[in-house]
Structure 1
C-alpha cells in the first residue's frame, strides 16, 4: 500500500459557530465522520476567539492541543493550572477539564481520541528558502505494534509554498494544507518545501499516530 497525499483547499473547510466565536474544521478522521457525533479519531481546526471570556466545549474521551496563531490567550483549567499563550506557544490538556479562556485570539486546535497520539510544531521558512522534511517519528512508527498509520499535516499560514514529494510538485497557497498519511509497509518519502514568497512564512506541522 502506498502513502497517501491530499491537498485540502480553503473551499473545502467547514465553518461553524461556537460560544466564543467561529471555528473552521480543517480536517477530521475518519473523513466521513461528523464532529457533533464525537466518534472521530482526530480533528484539526482553527478557531477565532472573539469575546474576552469564553468556555471550552466539554469533550470527554479526548485530549486537546491548542496553539495560538494570532493574539494572546490565557487558559484556566479549573483544579489544574493556568497558562498564558502568545503566538506559536501551545498547551496540551484533557477535553473533560473545565477550561475557560480569557483574551481574543486565533488558535490552531488538534483533538485526539484515546487511541491517538499527536503533537504540533511551527516551522519558519525565510524568503526563497528550501527546507527538507525530517521524519523523526517514522522509525519508531515503522516498528510499532500499537499504531497502523502516521499522518503529517502541513498548514500554510501565508504566502505560496512549493512542495516536492517523490518527484511530484504541489502548490500550497495561504491557509491551505497538505495531508501525508503513511502506512507501516510503505517507504518514507522525501519532502522538500520551497518558500517562493517575498516574505518569511510559517507552516504549522501536525503529527498524528493512530
Structure 2
C-alpha cells in the first residue's frame, strides 16, 4: 500500500466565473483540467455570487456536497435538490445544472470520467470501513482527524488530502474526528 498527504499549501487555486476553485488532486498527475484529459479530480470551490451554472462535463459523472453554508442544485428539466452540510448529490456531468448558494458556501467536488467505477462516502468518528483491492482512496476532513489503517494510527491535518493506493483489502477506522470525513474511492482497472 502506498500513502501520500497533500497539504493545503500544495493545492492549486484558480478563479472561475463564480468564485475560486481549489484543486486538491487530479489523476493522472500530469492531466490538465481544462483539457478534460483526467480520469478523476477532487476540488473545493467558494462563491462570490449566490447563483452559478455548472460547467459542462459530458462523459463525466459528478459528486458534490456543501462543506460550509447552503447549496441547492437545479438539474434543468429533471429535478431540484436542497443539500444540507455533507449531503452528497451524484449526477451526470452532461446535465444542465445550476446552483443557488449562500455566500459563505464552500463545496467539495469529485468528478470521474465515465466508464470508471468510483464512489464517495461520508464517515464520522468511530466508523469502520473496508477498502477494496486496487483502489485509489482519498480521505479529507475540514478538521484534524485520526485514521487507523490495520491498527496503525495516522494523524491527518484538517483541509489536507490523505491518499492511499491499496494492494489488498484494507480495514480502516476513524478514531477521532470533529467533523465529517469524506472518502472517495476510484477502482484502478
Kindly provide the CA deviation profile for residues 105-124 of structure 1, in whole angstroms up to 9, marking residues without a partner as x. Answer: 21110101013222222222
Query: Quick one: distance in 2 between partners of 1:122 and 1:166?
Result: 20
* Contact 1:41-1:115 within 8 A present in 2 as well: no
Q: Answer yes or no: is 1:165 the counterpart of 2:163.
A: no
5+ residue gaps, structure 1 = 126-130, 143-148
Q: Answer yes or no: is 1:150 the counterpart of 2:168.
A: no
Kindly provide the CA deviation profile for residues 120-175 of structure 1, in whole angstroms up to 9, marking residues without a partner as x. Answer: 222222xxxxx36421x62xxx5xxxxxx3122110211x3333435654331110
> TM-score when scaled to structure 1?
0.80
- The residue that corresponds to 2:79 in the other structure is 81
- The residue that corresponds to 2:35 in the other structure is 37
Label 1:188 to 1:50 Cα distance change in 2 as closer, same or farther (>3 A).
Answer: same
Label 1:26 to 1:100 Cα distance change in 2 as closer, same or farther (>3 A).
Answer: same
- The residue that corresponds to 1:5 in the other structure is 3
Label 1:92 to 1:193 Cα distance change in 2 as closer, same or farther (>3 A).
Answer: closer
Paired residues, number: 186
- The residue that corresponds to 2:108 in the other structure is 108
* C-alpha RMSD of the superposition: 2.0
Query: Quick one: distance in 2 between partners of 1:50 and 1:119?
Result: 29
Label 1:152 to 1:57 Cα distance change in 2 as closer, same or farther (>3 A).
Answer: same
5+ residue gaps, structure 2 = none
Runs of 4+ more than 4 Å apart: 166-169
Look up the SS of the partner of 1:194 in the other structure: strand
- The residue that corresponds to 1:134 in the other structure is 129
Query: Quick one: distance in 2 between partners of 1:66 and 1:82?
Result: 14
Query: Quick one: distance in 2 between partners of 1:194 and 1:44?
Result: 24
* Contact 1:23-1:48 within 8 A present in 2 as well: yes
Label 1:86 to 1:201 Cα distance change in 2 as closer, same or farther (>3 A).
Answer: closer
